[in-house]
Amino acid sequence: MRSPRHAVVVAASLALAGCEGWQSSLDPKGPHASAIHDLFWFFTAVCALVWALVVLALAWALWRRRGLRPDPLSIQGGRERRLTIVVSTLVALTGVTLIGLTIASYASQRRLFGPQEARLTIRITGHQWWWDAVYEDPDPQRTFSTANEIHVPVNQPVLLKLEASDVIHSLWVPSLAGKQDLIPGRQNLLTIQADRAGVYRGQCAEFCGWQHAHMGFLVVAQPQQDFDAWRNQQIVARAPPDDELRKQGEGVFLSSTCVTCHTVRGAGAGGRVGPDLTHVGGRQYIAAGALRMSAEALAAWIVDPQGVKPGVHMPATPLRPDQVQPLAAYLEGLK
Ligand code: CUA
């Protein structure tokens, strides 16, 4: 039995975890997120001040309220003039405040959407319920796709071209940028930038069906050198399996229904319905953030995807028990 004190500690840590860490607008780690963060606190401060002044004025008015005027028609000229000046001044101040907030908002928009030179472009397509990421390059040989986890170099604006294949989704990596919708039939642009190396979590922010909550996304920000190494490694095809178990696993993969939906470059699998699995073992999660990457998680996912994400479009793959382990080992080994 857990004590009430334990519950309080858990609740407090959950509340605090929402303010900092890998998925929080209040913990910005890039210039775009900082612009939104600054605007948020500016609005909060101004609105809190206005609220406090209104409540004080109300309290003061209630405190010195007198009885009803003996005759409502008896107007005292001097008092009326004073009241007119006070009310007009307050109306003007309200106008000035609103104009100030509008200017602050406009200035933030310029920081978010002003011209920026992005050297890296990633096309992200939202699907129910995962993210397809294609790293574009003028040289088609250097174009590759991955899923649910993107790597970016630090201190560089990265342009995301956002599209959707089925319904409207919304990409939101709170520590790096604001939300942007992914809409079928059109392309929206969003620039993200990380100032510090780290892993930042994102989430689909537009209700898109049953597993909307399990549509997570990771941005791994790395120093340029590490990013280049990662990118060069993603471009190449999978390394052929080097042990018996994984060789057997590739055989299972290629002879089962997996290949109709998934790509493993170099293995002869070219399905484009589900995520590209060429380097799936190098990702931190599977199923768009639903499970931590491990051979066991892969096995559980392949055998019973509906048990992990009810409603998911991936069908269960009918496999014999002696096929599941090699297949999971094979996929986990695709680094
Ligand atoms: Cu995709 Cu919510």
pLDDT band at 1 (very low <50, low <70, confident <90, very high): very low
Average pLDDT, the chain: 90
pLDDT band at 7 (very low <50, low <70, confident <90, very high): low
Specify the ligand 1 atom closest to the Cα of 128.
Answer: 1
Among the ranges given (95-99, 202-206, 267-271, 292-296), the one the predictor scored with the smallest mean pLDDT = 267-271
Specify the ligand 1 atom closest to the Cα of 213.
Answer: 2
pLDDT at site 3:
57
Quote the ligand 1 centre to 321 CA distance (angstroms): 34
Residue 272: strand, helix, or coil: coil
Instruction: Evaluate if residue 179 carries a pLDDT over 80.
Output: yes
Question: Ligand 1 pocket, 124 CB below 6 A?
Answer: no
Assess whether the previous peptide bond of 129 is cis (omega < 30° from 0).
Answer: yes
pLDDT at site 264:
95
pLDDT digits (tens, 9 = 90+) for 221-237: 999 999 999 999 999 99
pLDDT digits (tens, 9 = 90+) for 309-326: 999 999 988 899 899 999
Question: Ligand 1 pocket, 208 CB below 6 A?
Answer: yes
pLDDT at site 41:
96
DSSP string spanning 26-60? TS--SHHHHHHHHHHHHHHHHHHHHHHHHHHHHHH
CB-neighbour burial class of residue 78 (10 A; exposed 0-12, middle 13-18, buried 19+): exposed
pLDDT at site 201:
95
pLDDT digits (tens, 9 = 90+) for 200-223: 999 999 999 999 999 999 999 999
Question: Ligand 1 pocket, 215 CB below 6 A?
Answer: yes
- Nearest-5° Cα angle at 45, 177 to 93: 120
Are 160 and 16 in contact, with CB atoms under 8 Å apart? Answer: no
Output the residue whose Cα is nearest ligand 1's atom 1: 169
The predicted model scores a pTM of: 0.85
Contacts of 331 (CB under 8 A, 6+ apart): 249, 253, 277, 280, 281, 295, 298
Query: Is the pLDDT higher at 87 or at 19?
Result: 87
Specify the ligand 1 atom closest to the Cα of 207.
Answer: 2
CB atoms within 10 A of CB 300: 18
Instruction: Evaluate if residue 86 carries a pLDDT over 80.
Output: yes
pLDDT at site 317:
85
pLDDT at site 137:
94
Question: Ligand 1 pocket, 182 CB below 6 A?
Answer: no
Average pLDDT, integer, range 290-310: 94
Question: Ligand 1 pocket, 212 CB below 6 A?
Answer: yes
pLDDT band at 8 (very low <50, low <70, confident <90, very high): low
Specify the ligand 1 atom closest to the Cα of 215.
Answer: 1
Residue 180 DSSP one-character state:
E
- For the chain, how many helices (H) and strands (E)? 9, 14
Are 171 and 206 in contact, with CB atoms under 8 Å apart? Answer: no
Are 121 and 161 in contact, with CB atoms under 8 Å apart? Answer: yes
